[in-house]
Amino acid sequence: MNSKILIGLLIILVVFFGCAEKTSSNAKAQSNTPGNLTNNSCDSIDTINSKEECWVNIVRETMDDSVCSKLTVMKDDCYDVLAFGKNDSKYCGFMVTPDRLSLCYFAFAESESNYSLCDKATVENIRDECYYQAASNTQDKSYCSKILNQFTKQNCDSLTFSEIEAEMAQCKGMESYGGSAPDVCWTGIAEKYEDASYCENAKISEYKQVCLVTVALKKEDALICAQITDTITKDNCYLQIAIKIKDLDLCDNMSGSDEISLCEFAVSNAQ
């Protein structure tokens, strides 16, 4: 056979089988599309529980939210997979069983420290427990007033917090409003208790630097200056402490020769 004809036939066969394989793959993919409940292999399962469990497993792999509404027995399990798989509490609201819905919101309230989600729990004892945990975790007893069960409410009202816990709760409460107020609050705590670790709670970088300088000066501790990332702020931290305690050696930590000379001059002439 002519070699050109043979090559031509081989090309045709490759194209044909390639197309056939692609068509087969597409058909298989289409049959396993979670949204297509009539064509999936799960439908060949006789018992409803096993059939829907099959679909839930597909949702677990694909995170396709078009399936759950079509299920009956395992609808809540399906939305549970979506809620925690996508980390999105909106799927809690689609659950049918009140206990499952309420526990779902409770879990997100805890994990996200978003205790407004407690309001969405429809089962009283679960909602009350959510409010109790909110009060305990945030040191904010205003949540206790939302509790309906008297025994739980009394336990909530009996919670006691130390002064530092109450102050920390206040700062955390400000975080939901955004802006610089929470960072100013954390700086105040860090300065009051002379503990630079509280500065880590500051979300805005500039305020975190200011917080570290504030504590460093309060404690006269130049080691804290080393934690500052902004060069100018770090130099200022070393300079102020060097002047305050009249320590020329601290000037060696400055970022450049000009800064070192300025620091040494300032310390030498400090009153």
- Give, rounded to a whole angstrom, the gap between the first and last alpha carbons of the chain: 107
Closest C-alpha among 155, 202, 151 to residue 179: 202
Q: Which amino acid is at 111?
A: S
Predicted local distance difference test score (pLDDT) of residue 30? 39
Comparing 13-27, 58-72, 94-108, 231-245, the range with the smallest average pLDDT is 13-27
Alpha carbons 153 and 149: distance in angstroms, whole number? 6
21 falls in which pLDDT band (50, 70, 90)?
A: very low
| Whole-number percent of the chain with pLDDT over 90 | 65
Task: Name the one residue in this structure whose structure tokens are 């069960």.
Answer: 149
Closest C-alpha among 242, 248, 190 to residue 220: 242
Contact predicate 76/97, CB 8 Å: yes
Which value, in Å, is the radius of gyration of the alpha carbons in the chain? 32
Contact predicate 224/196, CB 8 Å: yes
| Residue 170 covered by a domain | yes
| Residue 133 covered by a domain | no
Mean pLDDT of the 248-270 span: 93
| Residue 210 covered by a domain | yes
| Residue 219 covered by a domain | yes
pLDDT greater than 90 at residue 1: no
pLDDT greater than 90 at residue 92: yes
Predicted local distance difference test score (pLDDT) of residue 173? 77
Other CB atoms within a 10 A radius of the CB of residue 117 amount to 21
Mean pLDDT of the 193-222 span: 93
Predicted local distance difference test score (pLDDT) of residue 26? 40
| Whole-number percent of the chain with pLDDT over 70 | 85
More confident residue, 171 or 117: 117
pLDDT greater than 60 at residue 85: yes
> For the segment 41-65, what is each residue's pLDDT rounded down to a tens digit?
888 888 999 999 999 999 998 999 8
Residue span of the structural domain in which 175 resides: 163-268
| Residue 98 covered by a domain | no
Closest C-alpha among 92, 89, 29 to residue 62: 29
Coil, helix or strand for 76? helix
| Residue 255 covered by a domain | yes
Alpha carbons 195 and 67: distance in angstroms, whole number? 52
Closest C-alpha among 145, 104, 137 to residue 123: 104
For the chain, the average pLDDT equals 84
* Count of the separate structural domains present in the chain: 1
| Residue 111 covered by a domain | no
| Residue 264 covered by a domain | yes
> For the segment 168-177, what is each residue's pLDDT rounded down to a tens digit?
888 887 877 7
Predicted local distance difference test score (pLDDT) of residue 40? 66
DSSP state letter for 145: G
Q: Indicate whether this model's pTM tops 0.85.
A: no
216 falls in which pLDDT band (50, 70, 90)?
A: very high
pLDDT greater than 90 at residue 27: no
Alpha carbons 162 and 267: distance in angstroms, whole number? 41
Mean pLDDT of the 125-147 span: 91
Predicted local distance difference test score (pLDDT) of residue 17? 40
pLDDT greater than 60 at residue 22: no
